Amino acid sequence: MLKIIQSTLYILLLQIFSILLFAFFTIVLNLDFYNLFGNYLEAFIYQNILIIIIYMIITYIFNSYYKKSAQYPHKSLILFTILLISYLIIFYLSNNDLSLFRYFLYIHYPIGSLFRTIVSSIFTFNIKLSLIVSIITASFGVYIGNKLYFLVKRIKKKNLSSISEKG
């Protein structure tokens, strides 16, 4: 039970850092895929690829810095659950109120940064449903980052053991 609580706190810290990093990208660097491509589908695809990469990098860095955090179980599942529950609650409460749905875009700002310049007429029911894909990509980024950390750790261990055998 303690490991699950630690995993949840780890995921909350990871989400805060991803929000800060995407805020830096959108505010300071003025990164806006929608204005760059002019097509929502292309912008959505590139934003989700960026979400996977950023979550993977942050997870890898956190695992490298906090050595025990790599052992926390179910990190990607916990992130998926937290984001999905918040999405479903806000989706249900924001029946016709787009301003209420913007709270989810603040909670999951990595995809919310895509919608900061999109006009409200584009924000349809299908677009709201497609946001589930961004939840999956965020969880997938955490999963890949964790697996990448263990792969690099195993390669380093293998290289060190082969050097000790030669010496």
Q: Distance (Å, rounded) from C-alpha 73 to C-alpha 141? A: 15
Instruction: Say if pTM beats, i.e. exceeds, 0.85.
Output: yes
Main-chain dihedrals φ then ψ at residue 124, nearest 5 degrees: -95, 180
Q: How would residue 106 be classed by pLDDT, with cut points 50, 70 and 90?
A: confident
- 108 φ/ψ angles, rounded to the nearest 5 degrees: -110, 65
Quick one: pLDDT at residue 71?
Answer: 85
Over 70: is that where the pLDDT of 57 sits?
yes
Given a cut of 60, whether residue 167 has pLDDT beyond it is no
pLDDT averaged over every residue in the chain: 86
Q: How far is CA 63 from the centre of its chain?
A: 15
Region of residue 130 (left: phi > 0; alpha: psi -120 to 50; beta: else): alpha
What is the pLDDT confidence band of residue 119, given thresholds at 50, 70 and 90? Answer: low
> Could you give the 3-state DSSP secondary structure of residue 39?
coil
pLDDT above 70 coverage of the chain, percent? 91
Q: Could you read off the pLDDT of 81-93 as tens digits, one per residue?
A: 999 999 999 888 8
